Structure 1
């Protein structure tokens, strides 16, 4: 029998992950045994394969299909092996330029305009490096990415290389019907993430009159054209009172998800925010109150409250966002940030950071761990400061913090978020104080109580073991 890989399946291998496959449009690669990889490697239309239980399993799963002898695989599908470590996703700020001057921009080290961007040659070089490293998924961001003079050319070059653009972060100003039509023509199933900071408050944070009108226009247009939209909403003391109405309006517009983000202690927000920044417990308390109202409605929108809770009315599932892993599956080798371990964050300057939220903070502190404009990405991912930072095990955090070593919540918290800990303390390895407030303050139990009173049934999908969700008394 002659068989061929499904058109969306590609075989891959990396240092320490020798046998794996990608499905186009799915970010993470899936591991295989040597036997499975060997059989799939022969599903190329050239080998006459004997029937076997494993072959039948792959046929039933749709990973392969019967074919005529001589049918060829696409070049993208053929087995490729990489000398670097496995990273599936690139979060790429193609430009620092922006038509707004946001008061909180986490990419910025100060209030100076960010004028640097990738040249066309640098863009092509980085995309070629993505192919050389086995990266499959791209997020385009900025600045405002659509301000890059070659934005659509970058999109086309990604698609030409079968690099899947999964997300575009934008303020929505430059989205047009023609652009969205081209996305469709290219076969893109892209999530468009549009900043919108609350009814009547968006212009202030974005520091531009008319910003709110442009954002709402873009949201409506994307939905009319059939694209998925996630709205990204910064919350601070000035717009707390419109959060419920903002969620309701986004639900009415058909937005799939809203992410509500505490406007945090980035260098630029420290300069501009005044007394508008919510204290951690103030943020938790007000978000609890918001959730209590939201779960009593018939909203369909998925709500992600940054570093606090996530819930989906469609599935009836909720999560505690500070829980970094399932307690029963804890390992000392777990990286300090799972997001950073899978996603390479590249700033408009070419500088790498564990995440883009740290880009401005690292620039302000003078911390450098690699630059893709100066060093090939494949070389950076083979070894060095950047790789050491993002593969660092959580045991280095516990070794650095006595309070973590004796904490009952360690296996769920694992020291918290590195971006928050660095912003609060200036120390990448310091424990995240916001997570101490969350776990010890009993917010898991209080979130449970909110969903116990919801209009529809919900269940928590997190494994917190025998830890006391009610917290610890001071």
Structure 2
């Protein structure tokens, strides 16, 4: 009679250059990489192969009960074939988990600090046909998750077309980064119609009119708080980012509690970057230096715990805290003391997520879009093509750079006693804080954390969680 299995309907077989054995789980599009033996066993679960045949090694056949227990496969009758989507698909490029895509460089706000000078639409936006072609390329390279940003992504007249195309290609929209002014029931209805429920990440830069001041629009603060409330009422998760500067630093605690009161799940706090637009419109005296910033974070943290850790919170690379608990981690501390990290990539985040700029440039992260001299070295997907960009390009070489390469190019980092724990810090911060165009430069913020005693100061902060009132 034989013994036949097939993959359960939500699972698909995938492979990439250098990572040929992968299992994709729908609908959340979670990819898990497998060893060769497990993948061999799964490849036999096609509804047509007799899995009991002795020609398959015992170590392969022994895996079927456990794979069934995990819900990955099920027994079936002969001929219950896989769907086309479930069959093995091998992509000829390197793996990227997700793409963070600026689908436009236009915006309806006038933010004082924009990386890409969106109020002036410096980078413009690609035409509809080009956007659809990039979507095709994403699919053909095995990208399954996309977050949409801008500028303001919702100003595109073809936004629904983009959502439709992503959905038809079974890609998940994980996040939409918006200023909130165009978030309404009609938009949420449309997303629900296509089965998409992304997190809306909307910046909020402080109470007492500080959000309006930074965003350059009257009532911007009221508008974004309304958008948070609407998303919560409709079951869409929300996150936020808060930019600190001299004018709003005293409002940090109050502003974070305001976000928590509007059901925001997480917030990332960073200082305003001294972009060309910020310096031109505001001046450097409004910025916060790194040491002052760290001291401000340390001053606030006891209040965070006293307030019940009201939301997940990231304070730059100094602190990441979990809502409602005393648990936290320190992003600066990348690797354990003494770990051999030489073969680790310089930036793990950049290795897993591609940033596409409004003009279609492949970059390691959005922050690099403000460094014209640096970003020009990296490929335009409209010229190079995404597949080549993920196979052989300056972009791929950068995100695949190992710490041992950086240590060779940067002897100061290579000789540092903290090089293992630090992992060379952040490449974008290195550019931003040094004014250099050298992506292998030292990150002064990481240097200050390790050499300025902030590890010890942070661990001395009481992490007793109180009751948020």
Q: TM-score, normalising length from structure 1?
A: 0.91
Partner of 2:278: 269
CA contact (8 A) 2:305 2:463 kept: no
The offset of 1:126, in angstroms, is 1.0
The offset of 1:239, in angstroms, is 0.6
Provide the rounded CA distance (Å) in 2 between the counterparts of 1:296 and 1:378: 50
Partner of 1:133: 141
Listed as ranges, the matches of 1:338-417 within 5 Å are: 338-361=348-371, 363-365=372-374, 367-417=376-426
Structure 1 pair 124–111 and aligned structure 2 pair: CA distance change class (3 A)? closer
Q: 1:295 aligns with which of 290, 305, 313?
A: 305
Secondary structure in 2 aligned to 1:407?
coil
Listed as ranges, the matches of 1:37-116 within 5 Å are: 37-50=39-52, 52-108=61-117, 112-114=120-122, 116=124
The offset of 1:316, in angstroms, is 3.6
Partner of 1:459: none
The offset of 1:88, in angstroms, is 1.5
Secondary structure in 2 aligned to 1:46?
coil
The offset of 1:387, in angstroms, is 0.9
The offset of 1:118, in angstroms, is 2.1
CA contact (8 A) 2:103 2:357 kept: yes
Provide the rounded CA distance (Å) in 2 between the counterparts of 1:25 and 1:319: 30
Provide the rounded CA distance (Å) in 2 between the counterparts of 1:384 and 1:234: 33
Partner of 1:325: 335
CA contact (8 A) 1:136 1:164 kept: yes
CA contact (8 A) 2:107 2:119 kept: no
Partner of 1:153: 161
CA contact (8 A) 1:351 1:368 kept: no
The offset of 1:68, in angstroms, is 4.0
Unaligned runs of 5+ residues in structure 1 are: 457-474
Q: 1:313 aligns with which of 315, 323, 327?
A: 323
CA contact (8 A) 1:194 1:215 kept: yes
The offset of 1:132, in angstroms, is 1.3
Provide the rounded CA distance (Å) in 2 between the counterparts of 1:372 and 1:378: 9
Partner of 1:465: none
Structure 1 pair 288–74 and aligned structure 2 pair: CA distance change class (3 A)? farther
The offset of 1:326, in angstroms, is 4.0
CA contact (8 A) 2:335 2:341 kept: no
Structure 1 pair 125–303 and aligned structure 2 pair: CA distance change class (3 A)? same
CA contact (8 A) 2:368 2:374 kept: no
Structure 1 pair 28–105 and aligned structure 2 pair: CA distance change class (3 A)? farther
Structure 1 pair 315–4 and aligned structure 2 pair: CA distance change class (3 A)? farther
Structure 1 pair 116–417 and aligned structure 2 pair: CA distance change class (3 A)? same
The offset of 1:305, in angstroms, is 1.1
Provide the rounded CA distance (Å) in 1 between the counterparts of 2:439 and 2:395: 13
The offset of 1:103, in angstroms, is 0.9
The alignment status of 1:447 with 2:449, answered yes or no, reads: no
Partner of 1:210: 219
Structure 1 pair 38–192 and aligned structure 2 pair: CA distance change class (3 A)? same
Partner of 1:229: 238
CA contact (8 A) 2:304 2:310 kept: no
CA contact (8 A) 1:91 1:346 kept: yes
Partner of 1:184: 192
The offset of 1:340, in angstroms, is 0.8
Partner of 2:296: 286
The alignment status of 1:20 with 2:38, answered yes or no, reads: no
Provide the rounded CA distance (Å) in 1 between the counterparts of 2:312 and 2:226: 21
Provide the rounded CA distance (Å) in 2 between the counterparts of 1:378 and 1:45: 32
Structure 1 pair 325–168 and aligned structure 2 pair: CA distance change class (3 A)? farther
| CA RMSD, 1 decimal | 2.0
Secondary structure in 2 aligned to 1:13?
strand
The offset of 1:25, in angstroms, is 5.5
Structure 1 pair 191–330 and aligned structure 2 pair: CA distance change class (3 A)? farther
The offset of 1:65, in angstroms, is 2.6
CA contact (8 A) 2:309 2:465 kept: no
Which whole-Å deviations, capped at 9, do the CAs of 1:323-345 have from their partners, x for residues lacking one?
23344654312111111111111
The offset of 1:346, in angstroms, is 0.7
Q: Which moved more, 1:45-54 or 1:296-305?
A: 45-54
Structure 1 pair 277–335 and aligned structure 2 pair: CA distance change class (3 A)? same
CA contact (8 A) 2:319 2:331 kept: yes
Structure 1 pair 230–204 and aligned structure 2 pair: CA distance change class (3 A)? same
Which whole-Å deviations, capped at 9, do the CAs of 1:174-233 have from their partners, x for residues lacking one?
111122122223222311101111112111111111211211111111011011100111
CA contact (8 A) 1:396 1:429 kept: no
CA contact (8 A) 1:231 1:257 kept: yes
Q: TM-score, normalising length from structure 2?
A: 0.92
Which whole-Å deviations, capped at 9, do the CAs of 1:286-327 have from their partners, x for residues lacking one?
011111111112243111112210000345421112123344
Partner of 1:469: none
Unaligned runs of 5+ residues in structure 2 are: 53-59
Aligned pairs, number:
454
CA contact (8 A) 1:237 1:277 kept: yes
